[in-house]
Structure 1
């Protein structure tokens, strides 16, 4: 199907080449390259709208990282005297408050009992004590971790170390389908790892539930920036018969608009021709609009 002009044209005999819409979307043939999607369908499909406008493109250094517990918020609870665990109040994974009872230990020396209590709030991430088991000051019975903040440790190869500095913003993506978050590099390891020939760059983030220790995350640090007068989201651009198009919102319709693209980064792409500033377009899930357009074309062919 050829995507041509999106407006109906007169055929030279006083009749429009396309029927006018009746205002309700019933019985009217749409121009080529146009699909009708009401607000309810747009919301249901998760299509996001944005306005085309000026933007700043960023050349970015891509980094691979791993989420870890904040090691400055970890405490080990060690028995004061060797003895036998008589009662256990908390299990692995339990949330505890400061002062909560963890266990009761009977001392081997005095045969009296004493309590192990949580010195801070957090989550029990290790438990080395079992009921009736002998414990001593040689190893912790519990490890409590405050997971309200997390570390994201990125590996930076030697050739890129000069591009990453403390205080720089890193855009972190947990790759869960949501939007990345931004944080600042707070630590750059002065010692590299011999096996990977890389050093650690660390960001501290608030734990909003999207990040879990042990899982991977990716990061992006801007190494250069340039302003462009008009840009759209990269996700907005679709290929239609070999041409780049952006779906522009016009009332309850989307119109496929041919565009010429220029510079780009990981999120946005410059539009040289085809769009005007302030025009509303499908910035996310634009492939749904393309699919609806294809369905409409197939129905006309039959």
Structure 2
């Protein structure tokens, strides 16, 4: 009887202990389902935790989703042509050699208007009809060239004079980029020099060559104009908008380079945040070489083809700082 009582008490104690163990949120690593929850908890703890690899470089677990949400952009290290450049500001203008002012032959009343600003026209397309004051007959005003209507100075029913253009038609398949060159830089600018134009629209730079350097300067700005004729068949360039340009002085190709925004300093080391194993970012110490406004040569520490954080890399640096703080705490 005593033995039976002892067995019953032992079973009860074990049952209560098991219930209490679970109530405390503890898990039994010998039970598969509980072990899975345990491992998940450990993995969640490690995410965002900074560790070091065998070379002492710091690493952190961070997903592509989190990087993208923070505005960080990945790119691949690779061969780049570095350029020594001079930067200038400029403005896009319609090619004045392909701009035509369309003026009425005889003064009269505007009876119809067929084209408006922004319309594309072909040569000999009807622009408007005007009733001559002299003959009281209606004659047609037609486009002399193919292009785009960029200005219109008449309205329906008003008097149109032969002294003032009714329309301005421009062929915008080529555009002028007029750069303002300060006097101290004029000696370095020559016709034929390569220039990279940035329209600031998120697209790639446009390569061109200087076709004209003005022989006179502006008394107001103390600058002279250097002009580049750019192809604009896709309509990307719009007259009147500002651009920046880089005059290429020298060029040199390097086998491995990263974007300038990728370079950071961590623990007094120059580092690039390199993507490893799809979910890790390593603060890779690197040796940098030459650079230009956009890229930095990597002489040691990275190979071509390695993915790295190219933009907003400070986000990863901040995450590493948080991870170290939590670890220290």
Partner of 2:212: 187
Name the one with the larger helix percent.
2
Judged with a 3 Å threshold, the aligned counterparts in structure 2 of structure 1 residues 227 and 86 are, in CA distance, closer, same or farther, namely closer
1:236 deviates by 1.2
Equivalences, count: 279
Q: Relative to structure 1, is the Cα distance of residues 288 and 119 closer, same or farther in structure 2, using a 3 angstrom cutoff?
A: farther
Aligned CA distance change for structure 1 residues 301 and 70 (closer, same or farther; 3 Å): farther
Q: 1:231 and 1:99 mapped to 2: Cα distance?
A: 54
Taking the TM superposition and a 5 Å limit, the aligned residue runs for 1:53-68 are: 53=79, 55-68=80-93
Which residue of structure 2 aligns with residue 286 of structure 1? 313
- Does the CA contact (< 8 Å) of 2:77 and 2:256 recur in 1? no
Alignment RMSD (CA, Å): 2.9
Query: Which of 190-199 and 34-43 deviates more?
Result: 34-43
Note the residue ranges of structure 2 that are not aligned, 5 or more in a row: 1-38, 53-57
d(CA) in 2 for partners of 1:36, 1:211: 43
State the 1:273 CA deviation: 4.3
Aligned match for 1:83, one of 89, 101, 108: 108
Corresponding residue for 1:51? 77
Is the CA contact (8 Å cut-off) linking 1:57 and 1:228 kept in structure 2? yes
Provide the rounded CA distance (Å) in 1 between the counterparts of 2:212 and 2:200.
Answer: 23
Q: CA deviation at 1:42?
A: 5.5
Equivalent residue, structure 1, for 2:282: 255
Listed one character per residue, the Cα deviations across residues 153-207 of structure 1 (whole Å, up to 9, x for unaligned) are: 0011222223222222111112334432222222222333333332211112233
**Correspondence for 2:178 among 153, 160, 163:** 153
Deviation larger for 201-210 or 101-110: 201-210
Residue 143 in structure 1 maps to residue 168 in structure 2: yes
TM-superposed CA distance for 1:292, in Å, is 4.2
Question: Aligned in 2, Cα 1:85/1:227: closer, same or farther, shift over 3 Å?
Answer: closer
Secondary structure of 2:317's counterpart equals helix
Relative distance call for 1:90 and 1:258 in structure 2 (3 A) is same
- Pick aligned residue for 1:268 from 269, 291, 295: 295
TM-score, normalising length from structure 1? 0.79
